[in-house]
Amino acid sequence: MGKVLLAAPRGYCAGVERAITVVEEALRRFGPPVYVRKQIVHNTYVVRDLSQRGAVFVEELGEVPEGALVVFSAHGVAPAARSEAAARRLRTIDATCPLVTKVHKEAQRFAEAGYEILLIGHPGHEESEGTAGEAPDRVHIVDPQHVGPVPVQNPQRIAWLSQTTLAVDETLAAVDELRRRYPDLADPPSDDICYASQNRQEAVKAIAPRCDVVLVVGSVNSSNSCRLVEVALTAGAEHAYLVDSVADIDSTWLSGVETVGVTSGASVPEVLVEDVLRWLALHGHADVETVQTTAETIRFAPPPELRVKPASSPPTAPRDGPL
């Protein structure tokens, strides 16, 4: 009988839970359609479920009818998007993770102090683009996997920030390389990697050396899920695979395998992990041991627009700006 090491913490973080609740509550209070700019969180199952309940996901605000209700995703948006929403009289609810908002404020403060900012993050990712939009003429996005020279104007007046969902070790390696090139590089006032990303990475590090295979449940566009695969391999797992759902598991991965590790990214509902555990049990791995490295107690309050008790009926006329 094969063994399963189940990492904890795993799955939903406080920011993801808050963002999904925002869309659910908006649908309940105001009824569909509720538009969402980009994916509310990077998970196929979650997006499909909310779509079936009346959420409409769009890439750009130009796809939202004037005066309609739109939710900004957990990854954050640049000020330009907020201005566009106001100009089109869209009613808005901001589901940006508070930890991402913290990085935005750090970017604002550094820019106001005259610094150029080296933002360690993945080019094209919504979070990096949103943070860069706080000071587009002063932010340089630095791919942590390809750190090279950055065309800064004053090497004595630069600082670094990071995307919250990166691997901790990867980020620190990128900072070391940047500091080698730019000795005067200033640090952010606090660590930017989100607590949930760090906790999930530490949990994977705890199980990986004992595993022949690690299955990370998460979608391919989820940065923190992809990082968990990398962390598992670096920490000693012989193989690690990203699976969006149980349908992605290849039974040949278990050939000759005694111990399977299981975890999930911060945007993954627990139901998908339960499906994987049932599948593993049917394939000879029913002995499950939970390996818990820390307990998470953080909760985030809902955005101001949803803290007020709803009226008996939703407003009939659109209002400018936030609800």
Cα→Cα distances 245→45, 91, 120, Å: 9, 34, 30
Nearest alpha-carbon partner for 95 in 32, 161, 24? 24
| CA distance from start to end of the chain | 56
- Asked if 202 is an active-site residue, the reply is no
B/e letters for 163-190, b = 16+ CB within 10 Å, e = fewer, are bbbbbbbbbeebbeebeeebeebbebee
Given the residues 17, 116, 127, 170, the one annotated as active site? 127
Tokens, residue 218 = 């998460």
DSSP 159-183: EEEE-TTS-HHHHHHHHHHHHHH-T
Both tokens assigned to 190: 């606090």
**Please, which residues have CB within 8 angstroms of residue 315's CB and are 6 or more apart in sequence?**
none
Report whether 178 contacts 187 (CB < 8 A).
no
The answer to whether residues 30 and 314 touch, using CB atoms and an 8 Å cutoff, is: yes
Work out the angle at residue 157's Cα, subtended by the Cα atoms of residues 151 and 159, and round it to the nearest 5 degrees: 80
Return the active site residues.
127
